[in-house]
Amino acid sequence: MSGQNGTLRVMIVDDHPLVRSAVARALTADNMLVVAEASSAEEALEIAPKVNPDVLLLDIALPGMSGVQLVRELAPRLPGTKIVMLTVSAADRDVLDAIRNGASGYLTKDVSPEALARAVRATQTDELVMPRRLAGRLIARLVRRSGNDRPDPPAEDPGVDGLTQRENDVLRLLADGLSDRDIATALTISTRTVESHVSNILHKLGARNRGEAARRYRDDG
């Protein structure tokens, strides 16, 4: 479904302008063109159906709706678009959730510009774009699940150990009863960033609300 002259049309969804700029620079050659950008899942939901990109590069940690939730919404609407996660998280649960909900690949942000460009092109041959280490873990998990008699069990819960260091910091302060504003002050980050971290924490822990996440932290601790 690439555009004129075989140009691969790419959309980038990330709430950090510097990341979007760096990704765009990495994709400026080899018949690839960044046709749209979005800083949130909600914005991407409006833009992506209009531009109908060949490839959508998507962060998991977004303000508001998470990247995995966006995959769930967009994959059925854009069957010709290959959605590839581009994120800092290498947690097994995130990888499995993304692929199960329709992602065509999963890359971490330590990928080199050259490898990113190769991965974007590889999506057009229906390859599952993923580093070998993540692919190996995903296959191992699927093999284990295939021997389980229970139908479609939920993804394994990595617990607090599956959180990033900053997410652990936010959860620790949340468990101490601090508000988002107080957490932002303590960690010298914005309130919006705290809200994004909390959203990711709830998703990773499978917690229904902040209180449940706090209890999980205290129990695991």
Query: Which amino acid type is present at position 112?
Result: S
What's the confidence (pLDDT) of residue 22?
93
DSSP H or E run through 86: strand 82-87
Distance of alpha carbon 73 from alpha carbon 90, whole angstroms: 22
Domain ranges of the chain: 4-145, 159-220
Query: Tens place of pLDDT for every residue, the chain, 221 residues?
Result: 455 557 899 999 999 999 999 999 999 876 899 999 999 999 999 999 999 999 999 999 888 888 988 999 999 999 999 999 999 888 888 888 888 889 999 999 999 999 999 999 999 888 888 887 777 777 776 666 555 544 444 444 456 667 888 888 898 888 888 888 888 888 888 888 888 888 888 888 888 888 888 888 877 65
Q: What is the layout of strands, in order, in the sheet containing 8-13?
A: 32-38, 8-13, 55-58, 82-87, 105-108
The token pair at 13 is 């969804």
Q: What single DSSP character describes residue 35?
A: E
β-bridge partners, 67:
none
Tell me, what's the pLDDT at 220? 67
pLDDT of the residue at 13:
97
Q: Where do we find the tokens 């971490």?
A: 108
Closest by Cα among 79, 83, 84 to 131:
84
* Exposure class string for 178-199: b at 16+ Cβ within 10 A, else e: bebeebbeebebeeebbbbbbb
Helix and strand totals (H; E) in the chain: 10, 5
> Which CATH number fits the domain 159-220, given the four candidates 2.30.30.100, 1.10.3720.10, 1.10.10.10, 1.10.20.60?
1.10.10.10
pLDDT at 121: 92
What was the pLDDT predicted at 154? 45
* Amino acid 92: pLDDT: 80
Token pair listed for 172: 């620790």
**Regarding the domain with residue range 4-145, which homologous superfamily does it belong to in the CATH classification?**
Response regulator (3.40.50.2300)
* Cα torsion angle, 37, 41, 47, 52, sign: positive
Instruction: Using alpha carbons, select from 68, 27, 5 the residue that is nearest to residue 35.
Output: 27
